[in-house]
Amino acid sequence: MERKILLNNIAVPGIRTFEVFRSTGGYLSVEKALKEMTPDEVVEEVKMSGLRGRGGAGFPAGMKWSFIDKKSGNPRYLICNADESEPGTFKDRYLMEKIPHLLIEGMICSCYALGANTGYIYVRGEYKYIIGILNEALRETYAAGFLGTNILGTGYNLDIIVHSGAGAYICGEETALIESLEGKRGNPRIKPPFPAVVGLYGCPTVVNNVETLANIGYIVNNGGNEYAQYGVGKSTGTKLISACGNINHPGVYEIEFGLTVREFLFDEKYCGGIKDGRKLKAVIAGGSSVPILPGELILKTAAGEERLMTYESLAEGGFVSGTMLGSGGFIVFDEDACIVRNTWNLARFYHHESCGQCSPCREGTGWMESVLHRIENGQGRSKDIDLLVSIASKIEGNTICPLGDAAAWPIASAIRHFRHEFEEHIQNPEQCSLHRMEEFENLKI
Amino acid sequence: MLKVTIDNHTIEVEEGTTILQAARMIGGAVVPPAMCYYSKLKDSGGKCRTCLVKVAQGSARDPRPMPKLVASCRTPVADGMVVQNMTSPEVIDTRKAIVEFLLINHPLDCPVCDQAGECDLQNLSYANGREESRFEEAKRSFKVVDIGDKIQLHMNRCILCYRCVYAANQLTDNRSHGILYRGDVSEISTYIQTDITNDFSGNMIDVCPVGALTDKTFRFKNRVWFLNPMNASRSCSKCSGKVTAWLRGEEIYRVTGRKDQFGEVEEFICNECRFDKKEKSDWTIESPRNIKRASVISQNHYLQAKKPSVILPLENRTVSLEEFEKENTNEKQS
Amino acid sequence: MLDKKINHPLHVKENSKISFSEATLAKAKQIIARYPAGREKSALLPLLHIAQEEFEGYLSADVMDYVASLLNIQPIEVYEVATFYSQYYLEKVGKNVIEICRTGPCAICGGEAIQAYLEKKLAIKTGETTPDGLFTLKAVECLGACGSAPVMQINTEFYEFLTKEKIDSILADLTLKAKEDKPEKSLWKEKFF
């Protein structure tokens, strides 16, 4: 369970440069795809690999590609979603910073497969330095003849353009990203039509996450079947997990699907256990949007089985006792963490990031934040807990885009698993250790 | 032609028709309310979520239900689709929640709002809302601003339907107002001090579902339910000149576009007709205008409005919720 | 709630004649040319970053009108976008904009205490600028560096694993460098090609 696909060469000095990257076998997949394969063959390999979108939804990448409208006669676009903004997730930043050519290589193969002659990388504005790194890498790639016109003499033309966001979580939603790329407000579009039919500039468009695209080079080189040998069941390949919170070794880890959560959390090779010898309280396993689980439920399913780092195992038990792999942002809470304060904090995040277009999310996220703020400040009433559950349930599923769900789930799950903590905050707010800390005086919200 | 069934009424419609359009063809109680969709404004709809319906069967070919409620104004009909609006408790329950969301930051200033009596939000909350608010926090508040000398903007009342922005985009050149900021502090604004002067800008008032954009020439002049709406016309070089003139006695208090049974104007009118022609001699008065029975105007007086109730526009009647539910259960049983 | 001010009075245009320097204008035109003909509006977000940098660190109505003229779009289209994204500042800011992450993962690693310390040290509240115009303190949502929490950005440079001692030295360093211009290489206009 220690096999890697993406980060094998991460420690090679100078791997950020084209020259070193190339010397480790980089860009071979571009030669293979462009010279030996038809675009459809590339799509087939990706389908066979079972690669699932690494941005959060886990939708099979090959299937997404096969939806692209090839009959319209309009240009097709591939957009790399590098708007990584999900709290707890920082794997794409790591990948782009350390080994940017892996993404570019994957993008060239993917654009070829989709018949796209322009690809965009939409990078969140906060990652300004990454934009510099990517453009430097692209300059090298153009110079080496792997981008531009008539690539490697095959007649295939491709330009890749780096585009910047400017501070909006919502632009991680693919249609909001497209709107933003068109120079507009990041308001998600109403679907249908889906981007595969009407996307950027009204043309067929595929939007893929950085990590998804970084896997394409391996799949082209080794075949989809070989890729599918990694992992278990429908969770094929490896996954970058960004681990943070109260652990000994926060950072980005490439794991093969199937590792147990216990090993990931406690082994020295990964998170290395809970900081300062404290106890595990809870984990948000897939970025802040997915349901929080108490320690015992993240390690073992309700049925008593060891939970694995896979899409399926983490979802075992549905939302009653399970969660989601999401974007792989693993946030760990120790016994001293206050679930109420954290839930309020996340509610504030979603309130801040709501685009304001549809009424349940625009009005509901702010309302939930206010109620949680009240509870956290010691002015809660016992009926507030059910009120929160009610508001969350009315936002969920009723919004234009998944931000509504993302705002509702953390609150609903925190109350589901930690209701007693909310009740304690309402009955006796001073009991929470955070409330007694002097440093928090200034920040009484 | 595609066959679609909405609340047990089946109709054949052309490809590309949305569920809401199909429901409007059937008419009556099966028509979902729409606060942001406006058939005459391209790209409108999908935002307010009041028209959410349940698709119990996706199509004849793929009979699976859709996993979530869908915005009927933006979801195209498929052949063999089965839709539930008022026959789905889930839809009714969700609509109630949406109304609550729309109201939490909406001021309770109907008594001083010119829109009262013909306000879509007022009607919607009479039909679908809760009796009490669970929202205890302070509502967001904005200052009242004049955008141009004839239009006043009460941002507090705005439900961010975007209709006025689409109207400005599609009816005028050089739009000068838009949606600024984001989330629940979004606002309609011009950002800088500027007047909206375009000849057709007054239509923003007509498309506004609430009292956010009101006619300054009519401000506090009268209550709409005291006025008699009359079809009136004049020859106008800018627009069709076909309007509704709102009279009390011999005096014209205001001029608006002619609204159909779904609250949409039949034709957009120019500012000259709307703001400057207030003499009876300016107009040929044609006939009384039919007014939606669902509106408070038709009740002529607040006291006669029944509440809570479900309002069925087609049959021009008001029934209580109990009666309505009884009828519907009977229908299902038979 | 977005930190951008609610209930601002309508802005007044000064109608001051402004334009990019020749070098920046060339860069801007290069950026616009990256997008398909007729889709020049796509360059709006990058251009606003550059404009903000070129004109005192914030976007006045005049600056936005200038950007609108470069892209041949209505000024309101620029206002709509500039007010939507949190990285665009609509009011004057200090020379150094400190953006401390306040979201969950940083918060559970002591981010809130760091924010409190910054307030104390700079003697301002979050959202304010020091009287000498050197620092503006803002609290922002997740910066995507949760593995090195607590984090902050100053003028879009990351500062990670923050402690009170680190804050002391970072602030001292920036105060010392107050008179220097920002290094050319770190500018937005140098990030695109």
Grade residue A406 by pLDDT with cuts at 50, 70 and 90: very high
Give the pLDDT of residue B193: 81
CB contacts of C190 in chain A (<8 Å) are: 132
User: For residue C76, which residues of chain B lie inside 8 Å, CB to CB?
Assistant: 175-178, 190-191
Query: Does position C8 have pLDDT exceeding 80, yes or no?
Result: no
Neighbours of B315 (CB within 10 A): 11
What is the per-residue pLDDT across B132-188, written as a single tens digit (0 to 9) for each?
889 988 898 888 998 888 999 999 999 999 999 999 999 988 899 999 999 999 999
Of C7, C75, C77, the CB nearest to B143: C7
Q: How far is the C-alpha of A127 from the C-alpha of A119, rounded, in Å?
A: 19
Nearest-neighbour CA in chain B from C47: distance (Å): 19
Phi and psi at A68, nearest 5°, equal -65, 135
CA–CA dist A206, B162 (Å, integer):
28
Short-list A380, A364, A363, CA closest to A419: A380
User: What's the token pair of residue A309?
Assistant: 């780092």
CA B252/CA B230 separation, integer angstroms = 10
For residue C12, list chain B residues with Cβ-Cβ distance below 8 A.
Answer: 192-193
Give the pLDDT of residue C192: 76
| A window 207-266, beta carbon within 8 A of C | 242-246, 250-252
Residue range B50-58: average pLDDT?
A: 97
Residue B48: is its pLDDT beyond 70?
yes
Residue A141 has pLDDT above 80, yes or no: yes
Residue pLDDT, tens place only, C17-48: 899 999 999 999 999 999 999 999 999 999 99
Q: C2 CB near a chain B CB, below 8 Å? A: yes
| pLDDT surpasses 90 at C184 | no
Question: Which chain C residues are Cβ-neighbours of B145 within 8 angstroms?
Answer: 10
List, as ranges, residues 153-172 from C with C-beta within 8 Å of A. 153, 156-158
List, for residues B245-260, the tens digit of each pLDDT value.
Answer: 999 989 999 999 999 9
B52 to chain A: closest CA residue: A398
The answer for A 378-437 residues in CB contact with B (under 8 A) is 387, 394, 397-400
Q: Quick one: pLDDT band at residue B320, thresholds 50, 70, 90?
A: low
Q: Chain-wide mean pLDDT for chain A?
A: 94
**Helices then strands, each counted (H, E), chain A:** 20, 12
**pLDDT higher than 50, residue B302:** no
Query: Does the beta carbon of A337 lie under 8 angstroms from any beta carbon of chain C?
Result: yes
How confident is the model at residue B321, as a pLDDT?
53
Q: Would you say A200 and A81 are in contact if contact means Cβ atoms under 8 Å apart?
A: no
Place of tokens 């920040």: A443
pLDDT of residue A2: 79
Judge contact between A200 and A181, C-beta under 8 A.
yes
- Residue range A403-417: mean pLDDT, rounded: 97
Q: Report CA-CA distances (Å) from B286 to A269, B203, B242, B260.
A: 85, 22, 10, 17
Token reading at A298: 């993240």
- Tell me how close the Cα of A351 comes to any Cα of chain B, in angstroms: 7
**Are residues B192 and C62 in contact, defined by beta-carbon separation less than 8 angstroms?**
no
pLDDT at C141 over 50: yes
Chain B contact for C8 (CB, 8 A cutoff): no
Contact criterion met (CB < 8 Å) for A163 and C87: no
- Give dist(CA C117, CA C120) in Å, integer: 5
Could you give the CA distance from residue B33 to residue C45 in angstroms, rounded to a whole number?
A: 37
Helix (H, G, I), strand (E, B) or coil at A146: coil
Interface with chain B: mutation pick from C1, C2, C3, C10, highest number of B CBs within 10 Å: C10
The three-state DSSP-derived secondary structure of C86-144 is CCCCCCCCCCEEEEEECCHHHHHCCHHHHHHHHHHHHCCCCCCECCCCCEEEEEECCCC
Check residue A292 and give its pLDDT: 97
B contacts of A168 (beta carbons < 8 Å): 182
Q: What element of type H or E holds A109? A: helix A100-114
pLDDT per position as a tens digit, A328-378: 999 999 998 999 999 999 999 999 999 999 999 999 999 999 999 999 988
A304 contacts: CB under 8 Å, gap ≥ 6:
none
Distance CA A359, CA B76 (A): 22
pLDDT-based confidence at B311, cuts 50/70/90?
very low
Query: Which contiguous run of DSSP H or E holds residue A331?
Result: strand A329-334
Label residue A440 by pLDDT band (50, 70, 90). low
User: Which helix (H) or strand (E) segment is B81 a member of?
Assistant: strand B81-84
Contact C108 A250 (CB under 8 A): no
Inform me whether the pLDDT recorded for C97 exceeds 80. yes
pLDDT above 80 (res B293): no
Decide which of A433 and B277 is more confident. B277
Domains of chain C: 9-84 (1.10.10), 96-176 (3.40.30.10)
Q: Is there a contact between B182 and C12 if contact means CB atoms under 8 Å apart? A: no
**Which chains have 3 or more CB–CB distances shorter than 8 Å to chain C?**
A, B
> Measured between CB atoms, which of A192, A355, A359 is closest to B102?
A359
Instruction: List beta partners, residue B244.
Output: B231, B256
**Closest chain B residue to the Cα of A398, Cα to Cα:** B69
Other Cβ atoms less than 10 A from the Cβ of B61: the count is 8
Distance of CA B218 to the CA centre of its chain: 20
Q: Is the pLDDT of residue B326 over 60?
A: no
pLDDT value at position B332? 39
Rg (CA), chain B: 20
C-alpha span between A63 and C129 (Å, rounded): 51
3-class DSSP state for residue B73? coil
Beta bridge partners of A78: A119, A206
Establish if A119 touches chain C: CB-CB under 8 angstroms: no
Q: Is B18 helix (H, G, I), strand (E, B) or coil?
A: strand
The residue ranking higher by pLDDT, B316 or A308, is A308
Min distance A230 CA to chain C CA atoms (Å): 26
Q: Using N-to-C axis directions, what is the helix angle for A100-114 and A28-36, rounded to 10°?
A: 10
pLDDT confidence of A255, banded at 50, 70, 90? very high
pLDDT at B131: 81
The owner of tokens 């008594």 is B111
At residue B51, the pLDDT reads 97
* E strand or H helix at A410: helix A403-427
CA distance B170 to B42: 8
| Residue A60, Ramachandran bin (φ over 0: left; ψ between -120 and 50: alpha; else beta) | beta
Q: For testing the chain A interface, which of C85, C160, C162 should be mutated: the one with the most A CBs within 10 Å? A: C85
Name the minimum distance, in Å, from the CA of C6 to any CA of chain B: 7
- Residue A48: enclosing H or E segment and its boundaries? helix A39-49
A346 touching C (Cβ < 8 Å): yes
Please list, residue by residue across A12-24, b when 16 or more beta carbons sit within 10 angstroms of its beta carbon and e when fewer do.
Answer: eeebbebebbbee
End-to-end CA separation in angstroms for chain C: 35
pTM: 0.93
* Average pLDDT estimate for B226-246: 94
Residue C11 binned pLDDT confidence (cut-offs 50, 70, 90)? confident
pLDDT digits (tens, 9 = 90+) for B100-142: 999 999 998 999 999 998 899 998 998 888 888 899 888 988 8
The token duo for B242 is: 């076909």
Which chain A residues have a beta carbon less than 8 Å from that of C84?
Answer: 168, 185-186, 355
pLDDT at B310 over 80: no
C171/chain A closest Cα distance in angstroms: 20
- Measured at the CA of A53, the angle between CA A52 and CA A54, to 5 degrees, comes to 110
Task: Name, in order, each residue with C-beta under 8 angstroms of A237's C-beta and a sequence gap of 6 or more.
Answer: A5, A49, A50, A51, A215, A227, A228, A230, A231, A256, A257
